[in-house]
Structure 1
């Protein structure tokens, strides 16, 4: 079982992310509504909404689920990435959720579901179109996106959870540099003891691996990784599973033209041309599934 120093890694990740985003400015052509609350867990249940200035009707809506190994990450770290997505003609939801180890599994899924319930009730006031909904996640956020999409698209799987899954449909999702197949080779808490805890109930264990619960109703998926992403070997097998179920997919293995290192969650770097290429490819994939 792998144990990590959560506080040390949080500090290191934050240092790296701040260096990546140094010098960036928020775009001026967006309406930005910040620090709304969708739940009862304080700052961890806050979110932002962005949409282009001049918007007068609901727009296709992207919800971003940040990564960070289930123990790190925030909407502040993702604001430049998600604001870029909003500049492409979408309403974008940039959210926090409860983190491990303080809040173990399935707290993030509960929070995503609470956010969906909030948006169903109030989203139209903020130009959210719940009939044209897209979910985006990277790294651990891709796992959460994958799992929530499975819950939404497979009612039998949703019944394994002790909360009612929001009645939403996803037009498509994006799974970026994600971690998948948890529980396939070892106990679910083998790699993520801080998330699942030292002991995991049989009911929780039975919810994994998520991939065996995917059906042909799973939403179309943009799946990407990179040449030096430490999780890259998980992406193509996932794409193959979905393809075997006749789920529309768009798989990409990104590489720098000069063969230099292109690493994990490279797409978050708003100074990078290949990140922009990737993010625009995702947007174009989503547009295929608009009404």
Structure 2
């Protein structure tokens, strides 16, 4: 996409997401810390942290990476979804990251890494349990979740990046309607030219496809898609790869009970009954490991 097309996409997506969230209200049962600066890039490096009121001890902690094709989205568009997760007994970190084309790859990974440093440094302030961490994301955020979890779980892959990974492990990951296998059948630049603009092609060849760098140390994985998700064919392929590595994995393709269409990142829509089913399934999976 060129910049005009990206602006058009951002405008259309924003209208869709505003309709999705219209009428929703934030739960009164949470402590909400807004606009915490986790890095040096202003509004692009702000995060929110939520946990249930009355919390007195560290909770298992979910870090959520929003979707948006690497060029759209922010924590505000994911607040109702991530607040729901927090109401179920978790501390949840919901953050902005730098977007393309203004910021090229690997800016989102660098920002995700900076979030990890921040939560370790401030764990006692926000009831974060660094021994019970879960990373999840959807769409582009699903790709970033897979890639960052691979960096954390594979030291040889981590050595291909310029940032220093903190000493942590994820007990589980959630990959929701994600974009996987980038660079396996085509170059990542072909699908997301605006994300890789100006990046050294040698670096891209080294770092993609991410799936070539998966190891048996990758965390237990909740993997889902939906009947009408335009990326749905990628999830079963990734499931096969994870199973071959003997990684505990739960894969589900969700469907509406009445057979009506169920699309990409449906789980973020807090008005959908099937979204609640999916999100509770995912949390139940995480609770097995945290």
TM-score category by the smaller chain?
A: over 0.9
How do residues 103-142 of structure 1 correspond to structure 2 at under 5 angstroms? 103-142=103-142
The yes-or-no answer on 1:150 pairing with 2:182 is no
Asked if residue 88 in structure 1 is aligned to residue 88 in structure 2, the reply is: yes
Give the distance between the partners of 1:163 and 1:232, measured in 2 at CA.
Answer: 32
Equivalent position of 2:189 in the other structure: 189
**Aligned residue in 2 for 1:253:** 253
Task: Name 2:208's counterpart in structure 1.
Answer: 208
Q: Deviations over 1:174-202 (max 9, x none)?
A: 00000000001111100000101166420
* Alpha-carbon separation, structure 1, partners of 2:244 and 2:2: 36
Deviation at 1:257, TM superposition (A): 1.2
1:65 equivalenced with 2:61 (yes/no): no
Distance 1:166 1:113 in 2: 8
Deviation string, structure 1 residues 24-45 (Cα, Å, up to 9, x no partner): 0000000000000100000000
| Cα distance in structure 1, aligned partners of 2:195 and 2:61 | 29
8 Å Cα contact 2:105/2:199 also seen in 1: no
1:223 alignment counterpart: 223
Aligned position for 1:7: 7
Matched-pair contact (CA < 8 Å) for 2:104–2:199:
no
- Could you list the runs of 5+ residues in structure 1 that have no partner in the other structure? none
Q: 1:205, CA displacement in angstroms?
A: 2.1
Moved more, 197-206 or 158-167: 197-206
Task: List per-residue Cα deviations over 1:114-159 (Å, max 9, x = no partner).
Answer: 1101111112211011110000100000000000000000000000
Secondary structure of the residue aligned to 1:125 is coil
Alignment TM-score, normalising by the size of structure 2: 0.98
Q: Distance in 2 between matches of 1:185 and 1:204?
A: 14
Distance 2:186 2:11 in 1: 29
Is 1:263 aligned to 2:263, yes or no? yes
Distance 1:278 1:200 in 2: 39
**Please, which moves more after superposition, 104-113 or 203-212?**
203-212
Runs of 4+ aligned residues of structure 1 deviating over 2 Å after TM superposition are: 198-201
Q: Is residue 188–residue 205 contact of structure 1 (8 Å, CA) maintained in 2?
A: no
Determine if contact 2:104/2:198 at 8 Å carries over to the other structure. no
Aligned 1:228-247 pairs, distance under 5 A: 228-247=228-247
Contact persistence 1:189–1:198 (CA under 8 A): no
In structure 2, the gaps of 5 or more residues are none
Within 2, Cα distance between the matches of 1:199 and 1:114? 21
Residue 123 of structure 1 aligns to a residue whose secondary structure is: coil
Name the CA distance, whole Å, in 1 between partners of 2:165 and 2:116. Answer: 9
- How far 1:68 sits from its partner (Å)? 0.1
* Alignment partner, residue 282 of structure 2: 282
Residue 164 of structure 2 corresponds to residue 164 of structure 1: yes
Corresponding pairs, count: 289
